[in-house]
A and B are shown apart, each in its own frame.
Chain A
């Protein structure tokens, strides 16, 4: 039986060294490129006619665009329009990476914590800078919720600060753990098919197919959750105590 962790191995495809850094083009980078290329192709090719009455591909592209536009509008409000391109690209990148990972023998870039943590840390630092830019030191009142008795503050404020600082960690681990657990589960059940043999092998095969359908759902869902949580964090920063 193959090791279920083998699929997460990063291999150097084109070894490159820049100074003391290892900047090799890996299979992770390759599949990220494929994800971005697919999304770009999907939007650019889909919108090539700019028809008033959209065709099939243009229809899908417009639905995707409007879905995120509505999400940003609902969760962040008027001030969020400026950040809509960022959130759309973030959503499409995560969705693309999750989706290409579902192809058999491919690699899932989002199943590595460094990839998701880089995105989450970027969101966190960006949101914090926006918050201080917009509200100045007044933003610190975010950590002291309104209408709380004053004697509760020494307990509540550290909790609020910790729960704010832990955001990049939870945001990245949520996506990474979902992708990792899903792919391990698929491989383990696929291994059962071989182990059980021809007589009862169809049973885990059915499970694998069902789990695969679930994984398609999870891939879309986690991209959505990543985007909507970015929206909620941005909302906290823009509309302080709304």
Chain B
């Protein structure tokens, strides 16, 4: 296979990591929303944890994106 084409395919495959990040972020906010309707008083207390979880979940997807960008522009 042409190395340039393989690079492109690899970059596309690495972007699949973002699907996992989407599932993770959706899970975090779904749990937060359903939890905050069950117990609205406690909702602001866990919001910092929600944001932290969101950032951690988002980062895993972005690691995949970094791999894609490395393949496209650096290697």
Q: List the interface of chain A (C-beta within 8 A of B).
A: 5, 71, 170, 173-174, 176-178, 180-181, 184, 221-222, 224-225, 228
Contact = CB atoms under 8 A, between A and B. Distances in A.
A225 B73 contact: no
Contact of A177 (B54, B56, B63): B63
What class of interface size applies to chain B in its complex with A?
10 to 19
B43 interface: no
Contacts of A184: 69
Interface in B39-55: 48, 51-52, 54-55
Contacts of B31: none
B30 to A, nearest CB: 19
Contact of B65 (A71, A177, A221): A177
B55 A221 contact: yes
A61 B48 CA distance: 21
A182 to B, nearest CB: 10
Interface string B5-34: 000000000000000000000000000000
Contacts of A177: 59, 62-63, 65-66
Given A5-B73, A181-B65, A173 B55 contact: no
A173 B66 contact: yes
